[in-house]
Amino acid sequence: MKLLDRVSALIRANINDLLDRAEDPEKMIKQLITDMNNQLIQVKTTVAQALADQHMLERRLARSREEAEAMGNRAELAVDKGDDMLARAALERMNSLQRTIEDLENHLEIQKKEVDDLKMALTQLDTRIAEVTRSRDLLLARHRRAVAKDKLTKVNGEIHPEKLEELLDALAGYVDKAETRAQASEELHTEHTHRRLVRLEAEDKLDKQLSELKERRKTSSAA
């Protein structure tokens, strides 16, 4: 039955695999739940029809058995009355009914199995829908984590140990150069500051000497 095949495919669907292949995982899982609910409606309708067919077969089988039993009783009665022709006719009808009963029993057995399969599919699909709906956010979160982990693994795989060592060496060299430049700049700044201080001290000394010289010259002129 195509319906059962579709339902079975939905029940067995590997949600994580579908998420991996989907361009839009959230949209995909919403569509999956919608498809499941649509199939659920179809299964319920089919189960109802299959049950109706089963009940019809059961009623026909019961009537055929009753009629076959009645024909057997009539054949016995006809024999008791010495009416072989009537007995033969009753037996022929009974035999025909027996063949019908066998056919109905076979059909009923098949129908019951189909109903059982449909009921099981209905229960499984209903459970599956509840599981997917309940765990939708969790599945999406797990999918995002898996994708991120896969990307990280690929990045790590692209960085070979020897290249990583070269990268670290180059980085260390860059840091050393930066530290050396910073130290040189600091030393230059310190030296420049020192020279300015020395120059200021020298100028201050010259100013004092000049003042003292002027003072002595004034005193000498006054004398």
- The one-letter amino acid code at 48 reads A
- The one-letter amino acid code at 82 reads G
The number of C-alpha atoms within 13 Å of 219 and in the hemisphere containing its C-beta is 6
Q: How confident is the model over 137-149, as pLDDT tens digits?
A: 776 676 667 666 6
Output the six-digit token pair for 66.
């009753």
Does pLDDT of 119 surpass 70?
yes
Say what the pTM is: 0.52
Determine the pLDDT at residue 74: 93
What is the average pLDDT score of the chain? 78
Output the six-digit token pair for 74.
């009539």
Q: How far apart are CA 21 and CA 175, in angstroms?
A: 44
Q: How confident is the model over 44-76, as pLDDT tens digits?
A: 888 899 999 999 999 999 999 999 999 999 999
Mean pLDDT of 88-98: 93
Q: Is residue 104 classed as helix, strand or coil in its secondary structure? A: helix
Does pLDDT of 155 surpass 60?
no
Q: What is the dihedral of CA 158, 161, 164, 165, to 10 degrees?
A: -170
The answer to whether 122 and 47 have CB atoms below 8 angstroms apart is yes
Mean pLDDT of 155-184: 63
Q: Is residue 1 classed as helix, strand or coil in its secondary structure? A: coil
Mean pLDDT of 198-202: 80
Residue 206, number of CB atoms within 10 A of its CB:
10
CA 106 to chain centre: 44
Determine the pLDDT at residue 90: 92
